[in-house]
Chains A and B, each alone.
Chain A
Amino acid sequence: MIFTDEYINGIILKVEEASKNKDKDYFCSSRDVFQVRIDSYALGTSKYLESAIIGEIGNNTFDHNWDFAEGHARGTYLKLYDFENTVILADFGRGIRKSLERVYQAKDDKAALEIAFTQQISGRAPEQRGNGLKFVLENMQKKNWDLYFQSGIGCCIISDGIVTFKENNVDILGCLAILVFDGGKDEYTNK
């Protein structure tokens, strides 16, 4: 399991620091900026399914958030290039549980994530949406790629093809996604 507490909490700290510094190298403040970066990634790497997965997660930031936490950057954090196998996305928006609140009262963050990743449900009902995270889960699992997704204290983890929902001891604002695709080298562990 690559997603140790130390690894995850290290990334949480780095993303928070980038957000507080409003670091434009990583934060896409609008959907257009995000789209350009993904276009460049897709065309530069030919990782098309990976790009679709990244696109689904990143666009959720703009589909479900108008305001972001005070003192934090607007939009979505996207870290793509340094080491190609690990892609990190994050935002400081309302998070999954609050996004679903209009249509589903989850008992906690973990329950909200379980619903979001396994059912067709969207906080933007009656619009017919809500397949994006299911698409992410199904394809990450099918390709045997690893995923760590956290919102609040709820986490969805795919590792070695197995999906688990659990709680982290560190509460986060918004959402954090760590996607580990084949090949390359991991920046944080240097392996």
Chain B
Amino acid sequence: MNIQISKFGEILMSRPAGKDAFSMANAYIFSDLTPDEKIELDFAGVKVLTPSWADEFVTGIKKSFSNTIEFLNTDNESVEASLKVVLN
């Protein structure tokens, strides 16, 4: 399953926004997820990501699903730096 994170917005900052994005994804996107399916989080087109938003979204997925998560197109500086904090 490939999720284009930029569909939530180009600038992803606050915890409430990250939490809401996860809730939406949980209701409408992950409902189709199968147990062995890899989750690809594709950050192409995301301009600003903070650890707060990423923490709410990524940690939400990790707590709810045991599927493997892959992070794609993370070369934007803020995406790289925020994921480093959240995944450590």
A55's closest neighbor in chain B, by CB?
B13
Stretch with Cβ within 8 A of B (4 or more), from A45-53, A68-76, A89-97, A176-184: A45-53
Q: Does B82 contact A (CB under 8 A)?
A: yes
- Enumerate chain B residues within 8 angstroms of A55, measured Cβ to Cβ: 13-14, 48, 50, 52
B15's closest neighbor in chain A, by CB?
A63
Which one of B13, B47, B51, B55 has the greatest number of beta carbons of chain A within 10 Å? B13
Are A51 and B51 in contact (CB-based, < 8 A)?
no
Are B48 and A35 in contact (CB-based, < 8 A)?
no
What's the minimum C-beta distance from B14 to chain A, rounded to whole angstroms?
Answer: 5
Q: Does B59 contact A (CB under 8 A)?
A: yes
- Enumerate chain B residues within 8 angstroms of A134, measured Cβ to Cβ: 85
- Enumerate chain A residues within 8 angstroms of B21, measured Cβ to Cβ: none
- Enumerate chain A residues within 8 angstroms of B50, measured Cβ to Cβ: 52, 55-56, 59, 132, 135
Are A139 and B55 in contact (CB-based, < 8 A)?
no
- Contact status of A35 and B13, CB under 8 A, knowing A135-B81, A135-B82: yes
The answer for the CA separation of A69 and B70 in the assembled complex, in Å, is: 45
Chain A: number of interface residues, binned into ranges: 20 to 34
What's the minimum C-beta distance from B88 to chain A, rounded to whole angstroms?
Answer: 9
The answer for the CA separation of A52 and B11 in the assembled complex, in Å, is: 9
What's the minimum C-beta distance from B43 to chain A, rounded to whole angstroms?
Answer: 12
- Enumerate chain A residues within 8 angstroms of B17, measured Cβ to Cβ: 35
Q: Does A131 contact B (CB under 8 A)?
A: yes
- Contact status of A135 and B48, CB under 8 A, knowing A49-B77, A49-B78: no
What's the minimum C-beta distance from B60 to chain A, rounded to whole angstroms?
Answer: 11
Chain A contact residues, CB within 8 Å of chain B: 31, 35, 38-39, 42-43, 46, 48-49, 51-52, 55-56, 59, 62-63, 128-129, 131-132, 134-135, 138-139
10 residue pairs from A and B, CB less than 8 Å apart = A35-B11, A43-B10, A43-B47, A52-B78, A59-B14, A128-B55, A128-B59, A131-B55, A135-B51, A135-B82
4 A-B pairs with the lowest CB-CB distances in the bound complex, closest first: A52-B78, A55-B13, A49-B77, A51-B48
